[in-house]
């Protein structure tokens, strides 16, 4: 569909696209959902290259960015769009950066283990995460109408204070951001969140009716629905054994793992 040196575009259906950055060790996915009069971009990637170049090719509709959470690998191209939205509890990070996370660490992480050629404009030593004011704030259970589909916002703290998932009610797609993915462990961002928050949020997504497909923001594109049942078993195990606290290590389950 689109042959791009940095981004890989994969079509989920005729009006839903994954825009992936497989050339970076984090294997980040952003998602473009087309409506009738506007389009919704879930996150804007690493910022190594400009994701707007891709969205411009996929739709003539105005694109608004809805943020799962304000870690740098999800807000990289926010500055390219006129409207960006974030949950209230992540607003401070969007406007002023993440307290306690030095720019030297961010630049080290953004520049390592890259396997594809990067644009000439990208220099890890001068990489600067996006900072700015959001156009609006997201709330739990807020419904976002796109015309031909309705998206529900689910506040799911744990990985970040203002982390949200998005549920496309019309198609049954659940976009889990960094609350749920495979290959590397899911974790609570210390010290701003808690293991208890993460487990409560995982439990929350298991209670959604009508989920047909699950899309995390890293690694494998598309997770099996059976993972929701495995989450229930994992929660029971972790709570029963008093493991829901920092320092208990990595806990492996079928299809995912959790690190505290």
Q: What is the pLDDT of residues 24-80, one digit of tens each?
A: 999 999 999 999 989 999 999 999 999 999 999 999 999 999 999 999 999 999 999
235 is a domain residue: no
Q: Can you give the CATH number for the domain in which 21 is found?
A: 3.60.15.10
Q: Where is average pLDDT lowest: 20-34, 163-177, 189-203?
A: 189-203
231 is a domain residue: no
191 is a domain residue: yes
pTM for this prediction: 0.95
Identify which of 183, 173, 174, 214 has the alpha carbon closest to the alpha carbon of residue 26.
183
102 is a domain residue: yes
Q: In the predicted model, is pLDDT for residue 190 greater than 80?
A: no
136 is a domain residue: yes
Number of domains the chain contains = 1
127 is a domain residue: yes
233, containing H or E segment: helix 227-240
pLDDT attached to residue 191: 75
Whether residue 53 contacts residue 47, with contact meaning beta carbons closer than 8 Å, is answered with no
Q: What's the Rg (C-alpha) of the chain?
A: 17
Identify which of 153, 146, 154 has the alpha carbon closest to the alpha carbon of residue 170.
146
Range of the domain at 79: 8-223
List the structure tokens of 94. 């969007």
230 is a domain residue: no
Q: What is the mean pLDDT of the chain?
A: 95
43 is a domain residue: yes
């Amino acid at each position: 569909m689109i042959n791009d040196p940095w981004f890989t575009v994969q079509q989920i259906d005729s009006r839903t696209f994954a825009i992936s950055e497989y050339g970076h060790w984090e294997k980040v996915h952003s998602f473009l959902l087309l409506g009738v009069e506007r389009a919704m971009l879930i996150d804007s990637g690493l910022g190594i290259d400009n994701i707007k170049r891709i969205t411009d090719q996929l739709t003539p509709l105005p694109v608004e960015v809805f943020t799962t959470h304000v870690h740098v690998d999800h807000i990289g191209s926010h500055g390219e769009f006129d409207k960006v939205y974030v949950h209230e509890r992540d607003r401070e990070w969007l406007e002023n950066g993440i307290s306690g996370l030095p720019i030297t660490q961010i630049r080290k992480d953004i520049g390592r283990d890259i396997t594809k050629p990067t644009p000439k404009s990208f220099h890890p030593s001068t990489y600067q995460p996006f900072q700015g004011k959001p156009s609006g704030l997201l709330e739990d259970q807020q419904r976002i109408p796109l015309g031909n589909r309705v998206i529900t916002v689910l506040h799911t703290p744990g990985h970040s204070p203002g982390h949200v998932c998005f549920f496309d009610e019309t198609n049954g797609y659940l976009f889990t951001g960094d609350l749920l993915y495979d290959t590397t462990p899911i974790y609570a961002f210390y010290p701003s969140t808690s293991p208890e928050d993460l487990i409560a949020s995982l439990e929350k997504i298991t209670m959604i009716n009508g989920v047909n497909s699950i899309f995390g923001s890293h690694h494998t594109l598309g997770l099996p629905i059976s993972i929701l049942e495995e989450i229930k078993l994992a929660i029971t195990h972790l709570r029963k054994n008093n493991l829901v606290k920092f320092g208990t290590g990595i806990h492996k389950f079928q299809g995912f793992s959790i690190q505290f």
